[in-house]
Amino acid sequence: MAEQIQRVFVPSAIEEGGNSLSLGCFSTEETAWQVLRSFLKKSDQMLLVSASVVVWDIDVIGEHGLTVLASLECKVCPVCTRQTFWVDLENFSALCHGEACAAWVEESTHEPGVIDCGWPALRFLKQTKSIEEAFTELFALGDQIKAAGITETVSVKDSEEMLDEFDSTTS
């Protein structure tokens, strides 16, 4: 006899006009997250405003059968300026799912009251005292990159050299 499923995990996204996009119904949370993350990588090609992962308990009547695991809101990325920056509203964290970007912000797991932010493409890592300050750092980095003429067609090595050159001329 097959194992009976007790819960299902449902990732979904909401478009700008309010249309809900159901991404499937899965027996494991891990699979639901993998599907949602893959979908969010294409968010700059759509007009998405939010996404979520919910879990439904089987054979439970009413709202008690539903638990929201995560609510995400889509924003413009402070570094790459694409509509691919997803902010987790429950447990504050943010990550750009854009190709070759991956800018991020989250509360430090080691130091209470400290906000970590970064951009892996240049190994940029900064600690700040507030979420606003972290976003300011990422916006400043994005501005420097744009001013240096760094685009997606330039290699990371070339990007680092151009950014270093830009930093040295502005210092």
Long-range contacts of 109-113 (CB under 8 A, 24+ apart): none
Confidence of residue 2 (pLDDT cuts 50, 70, 90): low
Tell me how many domains the chain contains. 2
87 within domain boundaries: no
Tell me which residue of 54, 65, 69 sits closest to 9, measured CA to CA.
54
Compute the 3-state secondary structure of the chain and give helix, strand, coil in percent, each to the nearest 5: 30, 30, 35
d(CA 22, CA 43): 14
Whether residue 112 sits in one domain with residue 56: no
User: What is the extent of the structural domain holding 126?
Assistant: 92-171
Whether residue 97 sits in one domain with residue 69: no
pLDDT of 159 above 70: no
Whether residue 168 sits in one domain with residue 116: yes
Whether residue 71 sits in one domain with residue 96: no
Whether residue 69 sits in one domain with residue 25: yes
pLDDT of 87 above 80: yes
Whether residue 63 sits in one domain with residue 97: no
Average pLDDT over residues 39-59: 91
| pTM > 0.85: yes or no | no
117 within domain boundaries: yes
pLDDT of 154 above 60: no
Whether residue 152 sits in one domain with residue 97: yes
Whether residue 71 sits in one domain with residue 4: yes
Contact of 58 with 8, CB cutoff 8 Å: yes
